[in-house]
Structure 1
Amino acid sequence: MSLAGATGWVGQPLAAAIEAAEDLELVAAVARRARGERLGGLTICGSVEEALAIPSDVFVDYTSAAAVKEHVLAAVRAGRHVVVGSSGLSDDDFREIDPAARSANVGVLAVGNFAITAALLQRFAVEAARHLSSWEIIDSAYEGKMDAPSGTARELAWRLSEVRAPDVEVPVEKTVGDVAARGAAVNQSRIHSIRLPGYTIGVEVRFGRQHERLTLSYDGGPGATPYVEGTLLAIRKVREFTGVVRGMDRIL
């Protein structure tokens, strides 16, 4: 398989985990700023195009929100199954990627967050939305994260939209003051993004109804281990699918 973003926070331990796995083989690694350097037994490629020229069956992207769509489409066109670890893809992007993947007869797994605990929060939130009709989402991340909302929050909003749209007592457009204070509308959910030092990645969904409330919260720590474990599972599963599959809980 090929790995883009191989020297990054998740990419580096993921590359080591792939090389340590008996059933997986890393044949190409991409890191633009480390081109020509060695990663295990590989020479790091400087571009996705270089990596895709090397035969493989799965392409994994842990690069950036700005580059991920181009990388995914390039991999699909090259006939690779794709595991998307980068955030930043929108619903419109997925609608573009899905037919391309189906035409190429490959699967694209994009889950927003590969941590099993984040997948469990998503599953619990979907169940809660069947019984509680009002909610809002709080998305938290480190101060340098460029995209907002995060992929974790976007995927949660998308999954909740499959259940229903949340009830809102006062229409947002009738807000007195600054409408932006009510957060961004993503798949009909309101998402409030926080970017501060001391955070890594997290999401919270608050449900409310008369006389009671329910809060579900996920917080990722500074280590990459949870994302590595989930990504390895996705790598092993992606060949079973055709087209875009969204949601880590769909492959558990």
Structure 2
Amino acid sequence: MSIRVCLAGATGWAGSALARAIAEAEDIALVAAVGRTQAGRTLGDVLGEPRLGAPIYATAAEALAAQPCDVFFEYTKPDVAKANILAALGQGAHVVVGTSGLSDADYAAIASAAEQQGRAVLAVGNFALTVVMLQKFAEMAAKYIPQWEIIDYAYDGKRDAPSGTVRELAARLGKVRDSELTVPLENTQGVAETRGARMSGSQVHALRLPSYTISTEIIFGMPDQRLSIRHDSGSSAEPYVDGALLAIRKVGTLSGLRRGLDTVLDLG
């Protein structure tokens, strides 16, 4: 039996690429889509893909009420994502989150709701395999190198800062240890804000400039040596598709809140 999916943000940059991939999948069926500006149409008409007959609804609540689904895929914006996720859990669906910008407090509330409903939420800051590798390598390095800083690069129109990728990376490193600061922030001379924001024990700097899509760099430093690990995204959404499909197939085997695609990968 196919996994029934409701895709919120189905007409967006990443959502449309995922929708087209679902059309090719034999074990996944897209039963509903959420897209405010295209509500009332079918997704196939909007994307030019006749195999996608799912109706588009203006809100997640409308889609969930009209079309039962096994997995709700959240690919919209941070100002509506939390409400969408909680609504999906309330309807008995598992949830995959690809939207960035949700806070740790948001995820605490989501985790509680998932436990109460007996459902799973798989939150992935970035579905690209190279990002998964960056996260794992950074966790390994943090065990041995006590000082690092994270740089978050994105296009000038991206409103959330830092990106979901960087939030997830900082949270992971915080479970290893807090980064050490030779000069405590409160002892900084000049403008302390130029040292970045302290997030989960890491210093984070966010750049928003034209020519970037999404890039993440973490720099580790020791006396007379330095290690840089960096991921760069291109202009296509294709690198995220395989990871997103994997998340859809795996989320139903989980329980509670999981963060990171590596939680469903065998990385040893």
> TM-score band, normalised by the shorter chain?
over 0.9
Query: Where do 1:60-75 residues align within 5 Å?
Result: 60-75=73-88
Q: Does 1:180 align with 2:193?
A: yes
What TM-score results when the alignment is normalised by the length of structure 2? 0.92
Quick one: distance in 2 between partners of 1:187 and 1:23? 38
SS at 1:18's partner residue?
A: helix
Q: Does 1:49 align with 2:47?
A: no
Residue 34 of structure 2: aligned partner: 30
Quick one: distance in 1 between partners of 2:223 and 2:131? 27
- What do the CA deviations read for 1:62-109 (whole angstroms, capped 9, x no partner)? 101211111111111111100001001111111111111011111100
Quick one: distance in 2 between partners of 1:180 and 1:49? 40
Cα offset, 1:5, TM superposition? 0.3
Q: Does 1:219 align with 2:232?
A: yes
8 Å Cα contact 1:68/1:88 also seen in 2? no
- What do the CA deviations read for 1:189-231 (whole angstroms, capped 9, x no partner)? 0100000001000110000011111000001110001111111
8 Å Cα contact 1:138/1:191 also seen in 2? yes
Quick one: distance in 1 between partners of 2:42 and 2:122? 28
Which of 11, 16, 22 is the equivalent residue of 1:18?
Answer: 22
Identical-residue share of aligned pairs (%)? 53
Quick one: distance in 1 between partners of 2:184 and 2:170? 18
Quick one: distance in 2 between partners of 1:191 and 1:37? 42
- What do the CA deviations read for 1:7-66 (whole angstroms, capped 9, x no partner)? 000111111111210000000001001111221212211110111111111000110121
Runs (4+) off by over 6 Å: none
- What do the CA deviations read for 1:147-193 (whole angstroms, capped 9, x no partner)? 00110000000000111011110001111111110111110101000
SS at 1:25's partner residue?
A: strand
Which of 139, 145, 148 is the equivalent residue of 1:126?
Answer: 139
8 Å Cα contact 2:92/2:119 also seen in 1? yes
Q: Does 1:209 align with 2:213?
A: no
Structure 1 stretches of 5 or more lacking a match? none
Residue 79 of structure 1: aligned partner: 92
8 Å Cα contact 1:122/1:156 also seen in 2? yes
Q: Does 1:90 align with 2:103?
A: yes
Residue 198 of structure 1: aligned partner: 211
Structure 2 stretches of 5 or more lacking a match? 45-52
Q: Does 1:2 align with 2:6?
A: yes
Which of 184, 191, 214 is the equivalent residue of 1:171?
Answer: 184
The root-mean-square deviation of aligned C-alpha atoms, in Å, is: 0.8
- Tell me the amino acid that sits aligned with residue 39 of structure 2: R
Q: Once structures 1 and 2 are overlaid, which stretch shifts more, 240-249 or 21-30? A: 240-249
